[in-house]
Structures are given as structure tokens and as C-alpha cells.
Structure 1
């Protein structure tokens, strides 16, 4: 990263300030030189705050799927009809993996520049609360720098820590990777430093919570992210992993810990419990005399009604309408919907029956034989019985053949038909059909319309309390199986969703499977599954398989809703066989070539 990068960043800021002029190729040649210097950026309050906003902008948008945030389609959750992803087809190479690496390191450098220069801003320091404001901004930038390191670590494994100084063209960047433990220790420590400088909550001048500041860093946000970091560090991929002893620096230094440390699970449990004990958030729950409807509406409406009480960290802006909702909505919705985020049968089968039992656990309530009478608001007459009697979240998260239209429907349309000749089937559509016979329904607002355009505004939840409950239950089950809190907090998530509570007496292994299944369902499509199966080190196991054949219904068959020919488990997509190298992405080859101390993950 050179001085030209500095000029590039400043030019971007200048362009945002001079929209009337436009950002032309020769713009920097036509303005005074002092406008494009770092000194001017960090003596001007507005430009300094824009610099910080630019750092924030790198926070990933969880619902900007399928073209930006793509983790869902690199798992056993869903397929993006229009895209062939290199992780899935075995074509991921060091020459094609630069996107996340470069973007997050740019954000790390921008954070370092901000931290080094913001104290020069006399205009800001001259405000009545100037010193406090500068301290808060530095805390936010310090946290964000650590957060972007964590994002890199999740994708690439142990990374290069650049230190406090942002460096310049004279800096020696021949730096090896730090070990995972060194990276995670640094991230948690930096976040702890940042925590001292950010507020408990952002408030207005009158002391009320300031919703304009939604998404800004608080002490609670930092504690929640620390919980995530420590959960990763305690997990089998990073704790006691003897299978990756060949992943080491040129000097022989191991990068992943091959010695299991049970105390890491305690640290993860304590960190999650510390977030819970802040008592700032609660699970969103809706009341209804019908327990099924209470679970259904609590799960469905969480994303637009519940974020104020359950969301710990949000992203104020999200492309959920133009990307997620439009790509998930079936073709028979009002306007132009694209009907192509296809849910795999593997995830469909993970949802339990209403009695809380899994379909693979021998629930007598499950059958794939025959067709049912309709359930108003949920599915039509002649819907397959395989979709009847499922848990409430199934109907909130999955659109299946016969399901009611999830958003505003075209005139006369009441249900979704994914069979071959159906209103959202394969016939008559070159590509706007799901390969699996299902689409994602989660976070699709029922009032969403594509003609005329109607979007129900809401922030995107990055971390919510249900995740923290599951973090705590998982870590505590690994550290102290049988502790009452494991069942207590797992059941809080289950019962909110309309499932009966599990009873005491389960073994550690049984509880582990319940927790993992609950994460798979509760956090589906929220970009957890990709990382969960890797940190658990189970991506090669049949029940969690991430390679090979994935199933759905037979999209080439069916001329009516109740056609048996459509309702046959069929291979919808075959991914390349799982390979150990898929646990991490390769570092871009250009960086390997430049930095002779930087090792590639074995297998690339």
C-alpha cells in the first residue's frame, strides 16, 4: 500500500464532497493540491468524519445477497441460480481470491491513518465536547480495525498483523503471519482498549437513545464481537487441531494450535454471559393464544418489528429489498421478482416437526405420502404432506411448492407453484427459477412490492441476542456439560420459535447436536453456517457435508400442485468434493509474491 493509495482514498472523499463537479479522471489536476492532502482531511471536521464513515462502510451487509455477501451459497443452505462460485466448483485459486483480502486490509490501513492523525483536528477539539468526541472516534476506529482483522481471520486463517503504524512506501512489509492465538489475542485486546472510549449507548442532547446513530459502536457491540472471537478460538479448527500441523511459517512456527485447551471454552462462555448480563436486549416475542402462531409471528416479524429489542449490532443501510427480497421472491409476485435463491433439501429437512422432533428422529408426524387440505395463510389445498405439521420457523423461513406468496402477489395468485408448469416453475423462464424447488422466505416483508416499488425500511441485524444465547450454550456445554444454563438458554431460543422445551438429562453429545441444529435453523441465511461447519471441523461429515450432491424437488416434472412427479428428491446441484484446503481461502498470489515471509495455506 503506497502513497498512491492515500491519494486514491482522499480523491474518493473529495468526489463525495463535489458531486456537482463529478469525479473525472483528471479531477486531481484541476484543484488546489492542499485539498487532497491528509493534513487537510484531519484538520477539517467534516472530512475527518467522512473518513471514519468510509471505514464503517466496509462492514458487510448480510442481506446483500447474492452478488456481494455470498456465504449462504457456499454452504448446504442455498444455491444462487445465476452464479457458479469458485468455492463450490473447486476453482478457487490464489489468483481469484483478492476481494476480501484487499478490501479488509484497506479498511485496516484507513483505520490506522485515522488513529494516527485525528488528534490533529483542532476544529473538532475546539468543540465544547471536542476531546470526548475525538476519544470516542478513536475508540470506534480502533474497534473497526480489530473487527476487520477478525473478518480476515475467519476467511483466511491466521493473518499478518501490521502493528500500530499505518506505514508508507518506505515500510518493510516482509512480515509473516501471526499464529491464530496471537491474532485472536490481539483482536480481543484491541477491542478491550476501544471499549473504554465508546459510549454505553448513543444518545440525543436530551439523553434519549439516538436512533440516527443506529449501527454506531457501543460497549455492548464490542462485548458481543469479543464473544464471537473467543467462540471461534475455542472451536476444534483452532483449538487442538493436529491435522494442520503443516500450516506453519518459513521458520517452522505453527500457525494453528495443536494442543487442546479446555479453558478457551470457559473464556468463550464467560464472554457470552457477560453480554447477556448487560440486560440491554431481549428476545423478540409476539403474543398469541395459538402457540404455533406466536412462534411463527415472533420468527417472521423479528426482522422488521423486533430489531429494537433483540439487535445488539445493526447495519443501518442494507440492500435487502433490491438484492435479497427480489432474488428470493417467486415470479408470481407483483412486479419483476427473480425467484432464484434456491434452498437445498438438506436445510429443509433440518427443520423439525411441530412436536420438536426432527424428521430423521422418526417423528410419527412426518410423511412424504399424500397431499393435504390447505391452511389459510400458509399453504394451499393439495400441498404435499411433507410440508405439513412442521415447526413455525419452517413457514417463516422457506417458500415451498404450495406455500402462500411471501410478498404482494399478482392479481389472482394465492400460492407459489414450483412444479414444472407452475407459476414460478421452470417452464417459460430461462433462469428465474430455483434449482431446488424452494426459495428462501426469511426477512421477506409481506408488504414488499416490486410494482409499484414498496420497501419496508429496517436495519440489518449483524448480531442479535439469540446468537449470543446459542454462543453461551455451546461454549458452556463444551466446558461444563450438564450446567443448567446450557438447557436454559437453548430452550429460550426454541420456545420463542414455538417449539417445546427440551428436558434435562441429555448427554453432552446429544446437547451438542441440538445446539448445532438450533444454530442451523435459527441463524439460517444470516452468514453463520459457512463458518460454523468450518470452526466445528465437520465439513467433511455426511450430516454437515459441504461437497458432493445436494438435493431438491424435481423441477423438470409436474403439471399440477399435487403432482407426485415433482415431489421426488432429486440432485439439484453437485459441488466439488470437499477438500481440506476449503477450510480457508488462499491468500492472493500477488501478496505471496511480494511478501516472501507470507505462507500460503497448504493445498493451494
Structure 2
């Protein structure tokens, strides 16, 4: 079927030069609009061509940006709650094609812009006339081709199998009635495109003429190391239960009856995922990457500092894909307690189940642990918490004190004057409690602590600039351990790479002897803790594992915390009482994927929604 009316997801790009960002000099993630109209003019000018390329990066996610809560992957999982401020439709149960939070329109816009770039850039004589002009054109095409594939991958994570458009720029007479490709076809497509991109990409972002000196101005631009890491992620998902042998989704099919997710299990996918992860690790390590560590006479303190400082000191060591411009300040102000100098917003709450999953300092779980007690209060203060803190928060693993702010914790940033502000008080009448503000308090009695700098202050404003790590080496280690445990149970590398992450976190190494099922449990728990609040990892992990409805990983129903309606002192037992504080809509199968927007489904009559929408 033909249509003279251009699909909205492409119409916005017929005048793409008016919306793509300009600003190679300002950075690839911090650009300003340009007003040129003619595409042909852009691709005869080096500056404008490079500005177009810069614009292709604009939808690379800013994982710490909480402005307007558009990035929903934190606040809709069993990690975090922001319901005093925002209630995503998936949490309320109202998710539909009319209010889908997926950014598919913007992704398609960038996909089309990348296609135009690939069609036009070879004709730029100004660039070709440079001494290294042909090499620049080749690199630019590699970046554009990768980003086109990456945006498809982002849509696939959100939507499942997607509509893949022709690899040519659209015209008003083109046929936009295109069905979804199957998941397997989508994976094959993005992997093929990334492989083609890698042939044109540099190994790393080197200064022109050097193969050893990195160009800091090119931080975040796509190279072979980044592309290989993304391949690892794609193949890990492809091997996972949601996409591999999922017969439950056999009703997800196109109008012609084509099943979109393969119901036949393929064990070889795990081996391919393991090999890809190992390749990504090897290429990163051979180029100077490593697990970031800090030396200290106290091993516990060393683990704490390594995990805390990773986000502002360790990114050069561990960061694989960096986003140089990131709205960290919008994150810090929302996780900072009200006792922070200038008054933080104090509202990104952590659910009790995540708090409980952090282990004791010896690596043992809290359940049934004689060292764990919720009914007593400590006497000596530490650098992590004050005297009078409930002992449920004492003796925990180092990352607990990096990632979670609890009642009695030492203020994570610069505190207001006074002893009551130097510590965090979440009990009802405390300095960060419910009684002190209409909405700026966490319903659970905990707020996120990860990635708030110890010098942070709201007023006077102190924000330490640092990039966001979209992918870091610890994730690749866990990718490899997971895939290898499924492909070759008992392989020594499973424990080797899992333990690398545990040891940095201050936990003892796991010893050989655990079976595949136990190691699967440990790997999943390690991902939950090590990667919490980062890049939507938990949101996608529980889905690809198909455990979103299971006890311990349930994404709907009641969520617990402390009793924010009670407590008049730090050691008040009335506050320290497990209480159902959030009631989300029950989990439904349809929440495994987001729907395409209803306007898109109305225009593209070949587009089917996931069953349930």
C-alpha cells in the first residue's frame, strides 16, 4: 500500500537540518540548533557536515538525567521509587499506546538522519581535500552506521521486534506500510550493521597521527572498543530466556501469521554471547582498561572508596563508553537529603527488597544471619553511620554504604550546620522526614546514594563534572560470567570474572564447587547490586530473564520500606518497622515490552502491537 502522506517519524526529518544539533566545538552531547535548510548545502561544508554527525549522538541516553523523569527505567523497577513526584503509566497500570514512554519517534528520526549522512558524506570535497580527509570520511561513516544500528537496538530493548526501515532516505512516495521484523531478524540486522561499522572505526579515539595518544576532545565518540562492547550486550540478550525458546510468546505475530519471537531454544547462543563478551573484555584490557581499585590499609575502606569514587575518579580506568555531557546535577539534587547544604530534594527512594539484597560484610545474606538484627541500636559511631543507628544497617558490605542512604547514615554531601544535619534523619520528625516537607521525602525511608559526590552542595552550588559511563568493564565481566555459566558450566573463567567484581566490592571470592544454578543466582545478585541504578540494567535484566513476576524480583504489587509516619528520634523502633509503602499495579505479561505509539499504529496498518495493548 502506498501513501502520499509521509509517516510522522520521517516527516520531521525532511527538514532535519533545522533540528539536528550544531556544535562539534562544544562537544558531541552539548550542541545548539542550526537554521540551514538545504541538505545539499550541509554536505558541501565541513563544519555543517560534522555538526550533522554530532546531531546523530543526541539520543545516546543520559542515564543520570532525572529532569522530568523521562528516563523511566529506574523508577519502575524493584530498585527505586519517585511516586511523590511522578507515577509512570507502567506503575499505575495505565500503560497504553496513547501514553507509551518509548522514544521510538526520536530514534527513527536519528536513524533516518544517519542514513542521509551515509548517502551524502562521500561527496564532501572540503573534507576529502584534507590530508587525512578520506580517513575522516571513513571514520564518520563508521560512527553514523553504528549509531543507526544502536538506535534500533535501543528500540528493540524497549519494544521487542521492531519495524526496520529500508537503508535509504525516505521520500513522500515511499511505502511506509512495513511489518515488524522478527526478533532474530532484528538481531542479525543490527549485528551486521555494527560489523560493517567496525571496519571503518578506529580502535580508539587517538590524536590524529598517533596510535597511542588519546584525544580527550573525542571522548564518547564511537570506536571499535565501544562497538565490541555493544555487540556483547546484544548477544547476551539474544541468548536470554525472553528471546530464546520463549514459546509463551507464540501469540506475538504479524498479520500474516509470522511469529516474532522464536519459540525454539538455541543453546549455542550462550556460547556466542560468552565469546563476544570475552572479546570485548580482551580488546578493552589490551587498551588499558581495568577494574578500578583504591589502595588503603583497611581493605573495607579500600572497597568503599573504589566503589564510591568510581564515578568521578575511576571512569578513565573502567569506563568503556562514556557520555561526556551528563545531567549529573539533576540526579544529585534529587538524591541529596534535605539536610544537605542548600536543601536537597530527598526523594528518589530505594525499595526495601534491594536494601535487603545487600549482603553482610563477609558476603553472607541477611536472611537467618545471627549477625543481623533489626531490634537493636549500635553504640559506636563509624565513618558510615552515627551512634544510635539501627543494627540492620551495621556490618553490611561496602557497596551498601556507597549506594544507600538510610536513617542514621552520615550525610553523603556537604551538610548544613548542626549535628542533626551531619547525619541523615528519615524518621517522621527528622531533618529529612515526612513531617518536614510536603513531597520531598522518600516513601521507603531510604534514598539513593550512588554517584553523589562528597563535596556536593545545592547552595552554594558545587557540582563536580564527570562523564557518565554507559558501559563499564565490570558489566562486561558480568556479561561474560553469565553467558559462560550457561554455555560451559564449571568453566574456571566464570568464577574468575565474577570474583573480580566481588573482590573490588570487598566481598570474599566464591570458591569452586557451586553448581550452575547456584552460580546463576550469584551472578544475577551481583548484577543487581553492582549495576543498581545504572542505565536501566535492572529493568531489562528481569525482563530478559523472564522473572518479573517472581518472588524476589516482582515488578508489581506491594513494596516495603520503613514507617515514615512514625518516629520522633533516631533510635525510635516505631520508624524501624517494615511497612507496605508503595502499591503498584500487578505485573502483567504485556509489560515485558512497551507499545508503539497509537499514532504510529494508526498510520502503519502492518504494525501489530504486543498482545495486551
Q: What is the TM-score with the length of structure 1 in the denominator?
A: 0.95
For residues 151-206 of structure 1, the C-alpha deviation after alignment (integer angstroms, 9 at most, x for no partner) is: 00000000011121121211101111011010011111110110111111112247
Q: Which residue of the partner structure matches residue 201 of structure 2?
A: 198
Q: Which residue of the partner structure matches residue 599 of structure 1?
A: 608
Q: Which residue of the partner structure matches residue 587 of structure 1?
A: 596
For residues 220-245 of structure 1, the C-alpha deviation after alignment (integer angstroms, 9 at most, x for no partner) is: 10000000000000000000001010
Matches within 5 A, 1:438-453: 438-453=446-461
**Per-residue deviation at 1:364?**
2.1
Is residue 45 from structure 1 mapped to residue 50 from structure 2 by the alignment?
Answer: no
Q: Distance in 2 between matches of 1:14 and 1:151?
A: 20
Q: Distance in 1 between matches of 2:503 and 2:610?
A: 42
Q: Distance in 1 between matches of 2:59 and 2:381?
A: 43
Is residue 336 from structure 1 mapped to residue 343 from structure 2 by the alignment?
Answer: yes
Q: Distance in 1 between matches of 2:483 and 2:81?
A: 30
Q: Which residue of the partner structure matches residue 169 of structure 1?
A: 172
Extract unaligned runs of 5+ from structure 2: 1-6, 25-31
Q: Which residue of the partner structure matches residue 114 of structure 1?
A: 117
Q: Distance in 1 between matches of 2:532 and 2:208?
A: 39
Is residue 532 from structure 1 mapped to residue 532 from structure 2 by the alignment?
Answer: no
**Per-residue deviation at 1:13?**
4.8
Q: Which residue of the partner structure matches residue 429 of structure 2?
A: 421
Q: Which residue of the partner structure matches residue 74 of structure 2?
A: 72
Q: Which residue of the partner structure matches residue 261 of structure 2?
A: 256
Q: Which residue of the partner structure matches residue 4 of structure 2?
A: none
**Per-residue deviation at 1:450?**
1.3
**Per-residue deviation at 1:596?**
1.2
The 1:314–1:264 alpha-carbon spacing in structure 2 relative to 1, beyond 3 Å, is same
Which of 351-360 and 527-536 deviates more?
351-360
**Per-residue deviation at 1:581?**
0.3
For residues 451-507 of structure 1, the C-alpha deviation after alignment (integer angstroms, 9 at most, x for no partner) is: 111111110000000000000000001111111110111000000100001111101
Matches within 5 A, 1:67-466: 67-80=69-82, 81-97=84-100, 99-205=102-208, 207=210, 208-278=213-283, 279=285, 280=287, 281-321=289-329, 323-360=330-367, 362-412=368-418, 413-466=421-474
**Per-residue deviation at 1:391?**
0.1
Contact map agreement 2:337 2:343 (CA 8 A) in 1: no
**Per-residue deviation at 1:290?**
1.1
Which of 93-102 and 593-602 deviates more?
93-102
The 1:14–1:597 alpha-carbon spacing in structure 2 relative to 1, beyond 3 Å, is closer
Q: Distance in 1 between matches of 2:209 and 2:305?
A: 34
SS in 2 for 1:74: coil
SS in 1 for 2:248: coil
The 1:155–1:555 alpha-carbon spacing in structure 2 relative to 1, beyond 3 Å, is same
For residues 488-527 of structure 1, the C-alpha deviation after alignment (integer angstroms, 9 at most, x for no partner) is: 1100000010000111110111000000000000000002
Contact map agreement 2:347 2:441 (CA 8 A) in 1: yes
For residues 251-303 of structure 1, the C-alpha deviation after alignment (integer angstroms, 9 at most, x for no partner) is: 11110010000000000000000011222310000011211111111100000
Q: Which residue of the partner structure matches residue 32 of structure 1?
A: none
SS in 2 for 1:118: helix
SS in 2 for 1:601: coil
For residues 15-58 of structure 1, the C-alpha deviation after alignment (integer angstroms, 9 at most, x for no partner) is: 889xxxxx99xx98xxxxxx411000111111111111111011
Q: Distance in 2 between matches of 1:14 and 1:346?
A: 42
Q: Distance in 2 between matches of 1:98 and 1:78?
A: 18
Q: Distance in 2 between matches of 1:127 and 1:326?
A: 46
Aligned residue-pair number: 590
The 1:99–1:475 alpha-carbon spacing in structure 2 relative to 1, beyond 3 Å, is closer
For residues 382-423 of structure 1, the C-alpha deviation after alignment (integer angstroms, 9 at most, x for no partner) is: 000000000000000000000000011111221000000000
Q: Distance in 1 between matches of 2:101 and 2:465?
A: 33
Q: What is the TM-score with the length of structure 2 in the denominator?
A: 0.94
**Per-residue deviation at 1:126?**
1.1
**Per-residue deviation at 1:571?**
0.9
Name which of 514, 518, 543 aligns with 1:510.
518
SS in 1 for 2:13: helix
Q: Distance in 2 between matches of 1:204 and 1:523?
A: 32
Q: Distance in 1 between matches of 2:101 and 2:553?
A: 28
Contact map agreement 2:162 2:186 (CA 8 A) in 1: yes
Q: Distance in 2 between matches of 1:592 and 1:443?
A: 39
Q: Which residue of the partner structure matches residue 20 of structure 1?
A: none
Contact map agreement 2:413 2:456 (CA 8 A) in 1: yes
Q: Distance in 1 between matches of 2:156 and 2:164?
A: 11
Contact map agreement 2:21 2:55 (CA 8 A) in 1: no
Q: Which residue of the partner structure matches residue 473 of structure 1?
A: 481
**Per-residue deviation at 1:342?**
0.3
The 1:141–1:374 alpha-carbon spacing in structure 2 relative to 1, beyond 3 Å, is farther
Extract unaligned runs of 5+ from structure 1: 18-22, 29-34
For residues 111-134 of structure 1, the C-alpha deviation after alignment (integer angstroms, 9 at most, x for no partner) is: 111111111211111111111101
Contact map agreement 1:14 1:36 (CA 8 A) in 2: no
SS in 2 for 1:574: strand
Contact map agreement 2:543 2:592 (CA 8 A) in 1: yes
For residues 421-462 of structure 1, the C-alpha deviation after alignment (integer angstroms, 9 at most, x for no partner) is: 000001120100000000000000001111111111110000
The 1:146–1:258 alpha-carbon spacing in structure 2 relative to 1, beyond 3 Å, is same
Q: Distance in 1 between matches of 2:528 and 2:366?
A: 15
Contact map agreement 2:22 2:54 (CA 8 A) in 1: no
Which of 532-541 and 57-66 deviates more?
57-66
Contact map agreement 1:13 1:47 (CA 8 A) in 2: no
Q: Which residue of the partner structure matches residue 58 of structure 2?
A: 57
